[in-house]
């Protein structure tokens, strides 16, 4: 009996593969070192460490496995054959399903589960069941028929055939899959203030009301420019104007110029907004509002490089994306009339019924939040408040600013080309001319094609750039057009044209002026309508009118003050650098960077610089 047992074990050892016998010898080395010694966990661990060091074994057994080997060796009458691996006993090794059945399962997965309709795995199994039933029905009785696989088999088949990335691509699209599974490398960062600035638009999570009627107008658009190095907000633009180059230009204008108006306009703000200047790199997305000749001209004139982020990859300008989330949670979601970020957060909150904040008050609230809260609060990413970091990093560094606001406004304006004649320039059916145009024509000895620019928010004037000097001068609308066009936006002008053509059957200056008056009356009536979309369009019309009218009044007042100073002042000033007396209140408001030129390290761009 004993001989038979030993002979059987010898047959097992001799029939084992060389790899299995090598594994048995490795296990025997551990077991042999532990035989006769203590079997505590500590003793076995010390024994295992010693043997693994002698054998240079990088995968020593755990204490549980070590004890199992010792038990198997002792129960096998101390025969090394008892330590042979028993991998052949690990279940079935043959394929359970026919090739044709696996093709049915694969086809069901591709047709039902791996689609952007995102059907469930149960739907894929039902689809396969239909085809399996059809196959079994056509199969003769004497042949084997297919059995229905379990839903676990469908999951195993899916994961063994496709990677998680491929599954995500099929169900959610390549953009989502890339955002979820692609590794995130380090992105370029600003090394100093104004080195890298990010800009973007959003619709704020707040319903704004009309200041007179109190009726909800809708959710305005917000455009913000943020400095990468200091996390300071350089400028913003808030209105009902849909995202366009116009909103980009107003935001950039606010970002480049000083904010010295704050103490006068918002006396309740405690701190100062010291962040401004021309930046080196501007990071934008691929929206059409960032692809314009005017923006490219601005970049060339001030030496700014425009960096376009890859499509649908907001992480390349993560600072501005994070700021919008912070602003929504820290400001807009705390105000009455908030819409929250989604319907789950909103729940049963009545955003329209609770809205009480007008656009004018919202501007003040945004200023207070930026200057007295956000800029003064410690940011985790930089370890200090943005305002403190700006003051620390900007010390001793020249702040580049435009030579004058006229240069900046002309550069931000939309370019076009026309032929300048003695009758002036015609643009959008409006006519422009001035004495300076006549002088330029005389110097050019006749009609010439010129580069022009216009502000879509104020058709009362255009800008003309001289070919020979690069000097830019302002040309007002002709007298007969001046009252109609001054402070009129392109959008309002188009409304007047359509109204005059449809209702007045003519489009001369008198018809347009009459159309403008009638549209203003309609706007006053429509602000009290119950249709929110109509009120939003009215708010846009009124917002453009008020903004352009205010700018016109301020610029007219500035021009008068400037002319008076130029006739009385004995100060010798380079017109390209200091076009106005730097001690005046008007120049501090409209040329704020010039006022601080002697106190801060301000660097000016001459008007003729390209």
pLDDT tens, residue by residue, 128-143: 999 999 989 888 877 7
Question: Alpha-carbon distance 235 to 224, whole Å?
Answer: 6
Whether 409 is covered by a domain: the verdict is no
The residue-averaged pLDDT of 547-571 equals 42
Question: Alpha-carbon distance 382 to 296, whole Å?
Answer: 31
pLDDT tens, residue by residue, 112-127: 999 999 999 999 999 9
Same-domain check for residues 200 and 299 = yes
Same-domain check for residues 342 and 386 = yes
What is residue 348's predicted lDDT score, i.e. its pLDDT?
64
Same-domain check for residues 331 and 235 = yes
pTM over 0.85: no
Same-domain check for residues 170 and 203 = no
Whether 488 is covered by a domain: the verdict is yes
Tokens of 418: 């026309």
pLDDT over threshold 70, residue 340: yes
Query: 198: which DSSP letter?
Result: E
What is residue 294's predicted lDDT score, i.e. its pLDDT?
82
Lowest mean pLDDT among 137-146, 208-217, 390-399, 518-527: 518-527
Same-domain check for residues 509 and 445 = yes
Same-domain check for residues 230 and 282 = yes
Same-domain check for residues 83 and 103 = no
Between residues 314 and 381, which one has the greater pLDDT? 381
Q: Which of 175, 238, 230 is nearest to 198 (CA)?
A: 230
What is residue 527's predicted lDDT score, i.e. its pLDDT?
53
Same-domain check for residues 33 and 111 = no
Whether 269 is covered by a domain: the verdict is yes
Give the burial string for 34-59 (b: 16+ CB within 10 Å, else e).
Answer: beeeeeeeeebeebbeebbeeeeeee
Lowest mean pLDDT among 182-186, 237-241, 286-290, 460-464: 182-186
What is residue 36's predicted lDDT score, i.e. its pLDDT?
83
Domain boundary among 50, 70, 89: 89
Same-domain check for residues 54 and 108 = no
Residues sharing a CB contact under 8 Å with residue 277, sequence separation 6 or more, in sequence order = 193, 194, 234, 256, 399, 400, 401, 593
Whether 210 is covered by a domain: the verdict is yes
What is residue 568's predicted lDDT score, i.e. its pLDDT?
37
Whether 348 is covered by a domain: the verdict is yes
pLDDT tens, residue by residue, 514-555: 777 877 777 666 555 545 555 555 566 556 555 545 544 443
Same-domain check for residues 205 and 68 = no
Task: For residue 536, give the H/E element and its range.
Answer: helix 532-568
What is residue 610's predicted lDDT score, i.e. its pLDDT?
34
> What's the Cα-to-Cα distance from 143 to each of 130, 131, 139, 341, rounded to whole Å?
19, 17, 7, 61
Query: How big is the CA angle at 376 (ends 373 and 382), to the nearest 5 degrees?
Result: 120
Q: Which residues pair with 32 in a beta bridge?
A: none
Place 153 in a pLDDT band, splitting at 50, 70 and 90: very high
For residue 246, give its domain range.
196-397
Same-domain check for residues 392 and 436 = no
Domain boundary among 66, 89, 112: 89
Residues sharing a CB contact under 8 Å with residue 447, sequence separation 6 or more, in sequence order = 419, 420, 421, 422, 441
Q: Look up the CATH number of the domain holding residue 21.
A: 1.10.10
What does pLDDT average to over the chain? 80
What is residue 259's predicted lDDT score, i.e. its pLDDT?
93
pLDDT over threshold 80, residue 27: yes
Torsion sign, CA atoms 6, 12, 17, 23: negative
The residue-averaged pLDDT of 384-393 equals 94
Tokens of 258: 């000083």
Cβ contact 260:234 at 8 Å: no
What is residue 374's predicted lDDT score, i.e. its pLDDT?
95
Same-domain check for residues 426 and 453 = yes
pLDDT over threshold 80, residue 347: no
Whether 600 is covered by a domain: the verdict is no
What is residue 509's predicted lDDT score, i.e. its pLDDT?
74
pLDDT over threshold 70, residue 558: no
Whether 579 is covered by a domain: the verdict is no
Q: Look up the CATH number of the domain holding residue 357.
A: 3.30.420.10
Place 240 in a pLDDT band, splitting at 50, 70 and 90: confident
What is residue 337's predicted lDDT score, i.e. its pLDDT?
82
The residue-averaged pLDDT of 350-355 equals 74
What is residue 125's predicted lDDT score, i.e. its pLDDT?
94
Count up the domains in the chain and report the number. Answer: 4
């Amino acid at each position: 009996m004993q001989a038979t047992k030993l002979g059987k074990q010898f047959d097992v050892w001799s029939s084992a593969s060389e790899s299995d016998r090598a594994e048995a010898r490795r296990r025997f080395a551990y077991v042999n070192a532990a035989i006769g010694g203590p079997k505590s966990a500590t003793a076995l661990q010390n024994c295992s460490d010693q043997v693994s060091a002698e054998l240079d074994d990088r995968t020593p057994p755990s204490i549980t496995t070590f004890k199992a080997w010792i038990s198997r060796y002792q129960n096998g009458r101390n025969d090394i054959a008892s330590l042979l691996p028993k991998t052949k006993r690990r279940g079935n090794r043959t394929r359970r399903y026919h090739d044709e059945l696996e093709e049915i399962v694969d086809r069901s997965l591709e047709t039902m589960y791996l689609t952007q309709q995102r059907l469930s795995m149960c739907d894929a199994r039902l689809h396969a069941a239909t085809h399996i039933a059809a196959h079994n029905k056509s199969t003769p009785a004497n042949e084997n028929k297919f059995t229905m696989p379990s839903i676990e088999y469908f999951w195993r088949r899916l994961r063994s055939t496709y990677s998680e990335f491929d599954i995500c691509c099929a169900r959610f699209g390549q953009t989502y899959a890339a955002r979820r599974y692609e590794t995130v490398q380090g992105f370029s960062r600003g090394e100093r203030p104004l080195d890298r600035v990010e800009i973007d638009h959003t619709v704020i999570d707040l319903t704004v009301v009309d200041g007179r009627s109190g009726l909800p107008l809708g959710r305005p658009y917000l455009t913000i420019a943020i400095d990468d190095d200091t996390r300071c907000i350089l400028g913003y633009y808030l209105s009902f104007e849909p995202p366009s180059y116009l909103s980009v230009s107003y935001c950039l204008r606010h970002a480049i110029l000083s904010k010295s108006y704050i103490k006068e306009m918002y006396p309740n703000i405690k701190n100062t907004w010291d962040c401004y200047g021309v930046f080196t790199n501007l990071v934008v997305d691929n929206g059409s509002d960032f692809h314009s000749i005017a923006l490219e001209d601005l970049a060339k004139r001030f030496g700014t490089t425009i960096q376009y982020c890859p499509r649908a990859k907001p992480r390349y300008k993560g600072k501005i994306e994070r700021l919008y989330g912070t602003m929504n949670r820290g400001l807009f979601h705390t105000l009455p009339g908030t819409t929250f970020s989604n319907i789950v957060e909103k729940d049963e909150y009545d955003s329209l019924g609770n809205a009480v904040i007008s656009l004018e008050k919202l501007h003040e609230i945004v200023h207070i939040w930026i200057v007295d809260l956000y800029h003064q609060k410690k940011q985790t990413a930089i370890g200090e408040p943005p305002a403190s970091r700006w003051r620390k990093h900007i010390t001793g560094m020249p702040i580049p600013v435009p030579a004058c606001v006229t240069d900046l406004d002309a550069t931000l304006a939309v370019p076009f080309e026309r032929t300048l004649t003695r009758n002036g320039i015609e643009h959008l059916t409006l006519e422009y001319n001035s004495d300076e145009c006549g002088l330029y024509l005389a110097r050019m000895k006749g009609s010439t094609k010129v580069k022009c620019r216009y502000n879509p928010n104020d058709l009362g004037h255009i800008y003309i750039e001289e070919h020979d000097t690069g000097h830019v001068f302002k040309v007002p609308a002709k007298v007969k057009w001046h009252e109609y066009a001054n402070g009129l936006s392109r959008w309002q002008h188009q409304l007047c044209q359509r109204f005059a053509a449809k209702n007045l059957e003519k489009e001369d200056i008198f018809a347009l002026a009459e159309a403008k008056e009638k549209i203003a009356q309609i706007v006053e009536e429509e602000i009290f309508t119950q249709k929110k979309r109509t009120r939003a369009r009215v708010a846009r019309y009124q917002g453009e009118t008020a903004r352009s009218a205010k700018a016109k009044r301020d610029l007219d007042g500035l021009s008068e003050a400037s002319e008076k100073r130029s006739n009385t002042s004995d100060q010798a000033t380079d017109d390209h650098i200091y076009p106005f007396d730097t001690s005046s209140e008007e120049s501090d408001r409209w040329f704020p960077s010039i006022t601080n030129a002697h106190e801060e390290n301000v660097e000016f761009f001459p008007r003729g610089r390209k």
